[in-house]
Amino acid sequence: MKMSMTSAVCVGVIVAALLLCFWPLLDHPWLFEAYTDVDINSGDTRHQVRVFSLTVKTEVEESTLSREIRRLGIDVPPARAWKRDFESHLVNASHIDYAYGRTFAMCHQLLGILDQAKAPDEERRAILETLMKSLRKGDPRKTQDETFLLMAEVGERHDMQVFVPEFMNYITKLRDAR
């Protein structure tokens, strides 16, 4: 059965009208949500998917940070303290708590600096214990500052230039405030 040109245009107009009417609804959290949370006690990440506000998938995985914390034998509290890192809807994606996303990115940068310095386990343990104590206090801005200080400390100890000279002025202010 062939569709006439008029029928095809009518169907197209109806589909376009329906999309225009329902497009705004596709971005509402109750329809479809995907979350990434970070556990500030361990560094693990949790990914969740919700459809019509019902959780349909939850997956917890170790991050590079949490694997290193466990490898070094650093104590991890048994309770989880999840903080939202990222939220995605069907139509768009937005950071809900950018502070924790940035904080965890900086934690991973610190790990990279430790790797570049070929820091021994004793040094890594001391640095990461300090990092985790700061992270567990639940103040991402202070943890970011502490991470800057730790990066600078590792860099100086291993004769590496971690930051540009202009940024070292900020590091000096942080040290003075410590």
The CA-atom distances, in angstroms, between 124 and each of 113, 134, 135, 154 are: 10, 15, 16, 9
pLDDT, position 23? 55
The CA-atom distances, in angstroms, between 141 and each of 39, 64, 70 are: 16, 21, 25
Return per-residue pLDDT of the chain as tens, 178 residues: 566 777 767 777 777 666 666 655 555 555 778 889 999 999 999 999 988 888 999 999 999 999 999 999 999 999 999 998 888 776 666 656 668 888 999 999 999 999 999 999 999 999 999 999 999 999 999 999 999 999 999 999 999 999 999 999 999 999 998 8
- C-alpha 88/C-alpha 94 separation (Å) is 6
Contacts of 139 (CB under 8 A, 6+ apart): none
Of 29, 11, 161, 5, nearest in space to 84 by CA: 29
pLDDT, position 2? 61
pLDDT, position 7? 74
pTM above 0.85, yes or no: no
- C-alpha 68/C-alpha 65 separation (Å) is 5
pLDDT, position 12? 75
Q: Is 135 in a helix, a strand, or coil?
A: helix
* Residue whose tokens read 């800057």: 148
Q: Is 97 in a helix, a strand, or coil?
A: coil
Q: Is 3 in a helix, a strand, or coil?
A: coil
DSSP label at 25? G
pLDDT, position 74? 97
pLDDT, position 65? 97
**b/e per residue 31-46 (b: at least 16 CB within 10 A):** bbbbbbbbbbbbbbbb
Domain map (residue ranges) of the chain: 26-177
* Residue whose tokens read 């100086």: 156
